[in-house]
Copies of this chain bind each other. A is one copy, B any other.
Amino acid sequence: MNNRGKIINDPVYGFLRFPEAELMYIIDHPWFQRLRNIRQMGMAHLVYPGATHTRLHHSLGACHLMGKALDELRLKGIDHSREACVAARLAVLLHDIGHGPFSHALEYCLADGVTHETLSSLIMQRINKDTDGLLNNAISIFDHQYPDRYLHQLVSSQLDVDRMDYLNRDSFYTGVSEGVIGYDRILQMLTVRNNELMVEEKAVHSVEKFIIARRLMYWQVYLHKAVLGAEQLLINILKRARELAYAGENLFATPALRHFLYSRLSKKDFEEQADHLDIFCQLDDTDVLAGIKVWKSHKDLVLSCLCSMMMDRHLYKTQLSSAPLDDMLADIRKKLSLQLGLSDHELSYFAFTGTTSTSTYNTEDERITIAMKNGSQCDISQIDHALVNQALARPVHKNYICFIQPET
């Protein structure tokens, strides 16, 4: 065997290499392979049919970028041990291991209020225990305890390899070319001062473009009104199914889905009883989709109607607005109530409002620091003629309304 390791074709970057045995152990782990059946972009493929890529692919890609980033830093004299490099690559590879079916779309729905970060952390600890410490350093980087602080920033900050990969990959697979970022230039311009990750001054405009690309992807793709509506539909299906489950109704479900449908598990439950995590790691998109397909024929009309809407792609009509939408909602509900004879509670599945928000540059988060040629450093929002200013830093809130069209 040569030391080129496993090579994987990736349409985004060409070829990905995983020569490290530690990484191959994780890639071959059933819990990692599970990510093959979790779509990276939830329901976005209903609008962008090319967006069928998976969490597994994203995780491999982000891990690849971590390797490239560390190579670049090494060329600049910012060296690190093989151990640190493997740990950083492992941390990225596993950063999304805790995602459940449909990634963000169903987060909190099956395991109540338990974030995917919490689950990732629990899974990493479990694997670490099973392997007598394979992930010690990776976990330490993840938890911001590792001495080389910039490794954490590469894993998680406003300019981390996670974002670089998902913007690139999501652009590639949706065909929204405006989201493509010049990741290779940004990687080349990374540097480290005082143990902090920074970007060289001459890359300021590339970073600006990165931030604007992300802004565009949010409004054009991630918060696209039809995508938002489809994900609300998915959430409502699960909500209704649980209502029925709690009411004693017998629903078709794989055993793993049944486990979460018929119970209410908190973070504490996961920590105290190991088998919840084992069962969670059997779940993927398939379990939910198989349920929805069968529930199309369920006798509960709300459930069967929502499931048919999903499978036949008759999505909610959705609108986004800066103004409040309460009057519009009241009006639609009144019409629907007359036409369909549904209770108020039932109506809430067919017409409802909500709020969504995003910020282009979040000053609360791990920020982007520019290493100036003159030796000083500053936040990207503080450079001369900054594009990333106060206005961009404030989050944008939008109201949305989803409903089925009343007959006229």
Chain A 1-23 interface 0/1 with B at a Cβ cutoff of 8 Å (1 = within): 01110011111101100000000
A113 interface residue per 8 A CB criterion:
no
A341 interface residue per 8 A CB criterion:
no
Asked if residues B56 and A49 are in contact (CB atoms below 8 Å), the reply is yes
A396 interface residue per 8 A CB criterion:
yes
Asked if residues A286 and B282 are in contact (CB atoms below 8 Å), the reply is no
Q: Which of B45, B53, B254, B255 contacts A50 (CB 8 A)?
A: B53
Asked if residues A205 and B209 are in contact (CB atoms below 8 Å), the reply is no
A263 interface residue per 8 A CB criterion:
no
Q: In the complex, which residues of chain B have a beta carbon less than 8 angstroms from the beta carbon of A356? A: none
| In the bound complex, CA of A311 to CA of B8 (Å) | 19
Asked if residues A205 and B219 are in contact (CB atoms below 8 Å), the reply is yes
A193 interface residue per 8 A CB criterion:
no
A252 interface residue per 8 A CB criterion:
yes
Asked if residues B392 and A188 are in contact (CB atoms below 8 Å), the reply is no
Q: In the complex, which residues of chain B have a beta carbon less than 8 angstroms from the beta carbon of A52? A: 39, 52-54, 57
Q: In the complex, which residues of chain B have a beta carbon less than 8 angstroms from the beta carbon of A284? A: 293
A250 interface residue per 8 A CB criterion:
no
Q: In the complex, which residues of chain B have a beta carbon less than 8 angstroms from the beta carbon of A282? A: 293
Asked if residues A177 and B182 are in contact (CB atoms below 8 Å), the reply is yes
Chain A residues 60 to 92 lying within 8 A of chain B, measured CB to CB, are: 60, 72, 75-77
Asked if residues B385 and A396 are in contact (CB atoms below 8 Å), the reply is yes
Q: In the complex, which residues of chain B have a beta carbon less than 8 angstroms from the beta carbon of A312? A: 28, 30, 33
Q: Which of B48, B322, B386 contacts A384 (CB 8 A)?
A: B322
Chain A residues 21 to 59 lying within 8 A of chain B, measured CB to CB, are: 28, 30, 33-34, 36-37, 39, 45-46, 48-50, 52-54, 56-57
A107 interface residue per 8 A CB criterion:
no
Q: In the complex, which residues of chain B have a beta carbon less than 8 angstroms from the beta carbon of A30? A: 311-312
Q: Which of B4, B33, B215, B396 contacts A75 (CB 8 A)?
A: B4
A275 interface residue per 8 A CB criterion:
no
A405 interface residue per 8 A CB criterion:
no
Each complex incorporates copies of this chain amounting to 4
Asked if residues A387 and B174 are in contact (CB atoms below 8 Å), the reply is no
A185 interface residue per 8 A CB criterion:
yes
Asked if residues A213 and B209 are in contact (CB atoms below 8 Å), the reply is yes
Q: In the complex, which residues of chain B have a beta carbon less than 8 angstroms from the beta carbon of A2? A: 75-77
A195 interface residue per 8 A CB criterion:
no
Give A residues with C-beta under 8 Å from B. 2-4, 7-12, 14-15, 28, 30, 33-34, 36-37, 39, 45-46, 48-50, 52-54, 56-57, 60, 72, 75-77, 172-178, 180-182, 184-185, 188, 205-206, 208-209, 212-213, 215-216, 219-220, 252, 254-256, 282, 284, 286-287, 289-290, 293-294, 297, 311-313, 322, 360, 384-387, 389, 391-392, 396
Cβ-closest 6 pairs across A and B: A11-B175, A290-B290, A9-B175, A178-B182, A205-B216, A52-B52
Extra A-B contacts (19), CB below 8 Å, given A36-B313, A205-B216, A389-B389: A2-B77, A4-B76, A7-B188, A11-B50, A11-B175, A15-B184, A39-B52, A52-B52, A178-B209, A180-B180, A208-B215, A209-B213, A209-B216, A255-B297, A284-B293, A286-B286, A286-B289, A287-B293, A360-B387
